[in-house]
Amino acid sequence: MNDQALLRVLAGIRDANYHRPGIRCLRLFRTADADTLERLLADVSLLRIGQRPSMAAAPGHVTAWTQPQGRVEQFSLLNASGRSDDFSRDHDGSCFGKRFHHAKRLRALAALTASLPHLVNFRVNVLGNGAALPPHEEHSVIRARDGAVGVRARFHLPLLTHPAATLLLDGDLHHLEAGSVYLVNHGCVHAAENGGPHERIHLVWDMLLTAEACDVMFGQGPVPHGFRRTHDVVRPVGRRLVRHWKRIAPQVLETDAGDVGFLEVQ
């Protein structure tokens, strides 16, 4: 893709962020072989033996405002402290002063994070059986510190899932398959529910969509380690009417988001 095509991707994410027709969900990569998924799962198992999660429903947690239901764990892996229960900078909008601290021990996770430019956060999200994040609305369109309007995008890589584990995006229900990387537009009213018999484990990360990050995720840049590129529209598996949801006030009004562009690193 050239720059104009990548800017059209940004515009599609922007449009869906304001609940208009646009890009809600895309499958971007698949694991190149079964070993990649197995290595990532093995790293997560090893991580959970030696590290503590934060609990999303705990008072003061960055996700508590969504009122999680059941056991919802988060392991934050890109921060200054190296503690997986440290979520203090997961959503500060900055790429600086954070790193993956467990590269020697968790080689597959380290290789993946090293393939992803301009990460804001990187975390393991675990939903126990019957757990859920109720409908809520964040925003993928942001105003950078230099005043530019751009996109902070969210990506999911399911490692362990079940057909009854669903993700809601503006009324569309999706099932995200294990071993694929998806753009998930968190500007949509979204919710997650694990109706399966075992845990649902996703890797989740946010990136500033700089020109380099756009080229890696949507264009012709270097493919993340262990994956092959694909661009698939994700078909909903159902619909669900949402009447009430929690909401964060937008940083950027739709009237100010006409010239969405590549962000600079901040």
Does residue 112 form part of some domain? yes
Q: What is the DSSP letter of 197?
A: S
Quick check: 231 pLDDT over 90? no
Compute the distance between CA of residue 144 and CA of residue 43 in angstroms, rounded to an integer. 34
Does residue 24 form part of some domain? no
CATH code at 243? 2.60.120.330
Per-residue pLDDT, averaged over 130-138, amounts to 98
pLDDT score, position 225? 86
Q: What 3 state SS string does 66-133 have?
A: HCCECCEEEEECCECCCCCCCCCCCCCCCCCCCECCCCCCCHHHHHHHHCCCCEEEEEEEEECCCCEE
Does residue 25 form part of some domain? no
Per-residue pLDDT, averaged over 170-198, amounts to 97
Does residue 265 form part of some domain? no
**Domain range for residue 74?**
3-18+31-56+66-84+96-256
Please write the tens of the pLDDT for every residue from 74-118: 999 999 999 999 999 999 999 999 999 999 999 999 999 999 999
Does residue 230 form part of some domain? yes
Q: Bin 192: left if φ > 0, else alpha if -120 < ψ < 50, else beta.
A: beta
Q: What is the pTM of this model?
A: 0.98
Does residue 90 form part of some domain? no
The closest of 230, 235, 234 to 29, measured between CA atoms, is 230
The residue with greater pLDDT, 245 or 225, is: 245
Quick check: 156 pLDDT over 90? yes
pLDDT score, position 196? 95
Question: DSSP 3-state assignment of 54?
Answer: strand
pLDDT score, position 232? 83
Does residue 26 form part of some domain? no
Contact at 8 Å (CB) between 172 and 212? Answer: no
Does residue 23 form part of some domain? no
**No. of H helices and E strands in the chain?**
4, 15
Quick check: 1 pLDDT over 80? no
Number of domains into which the chain is organized: 1
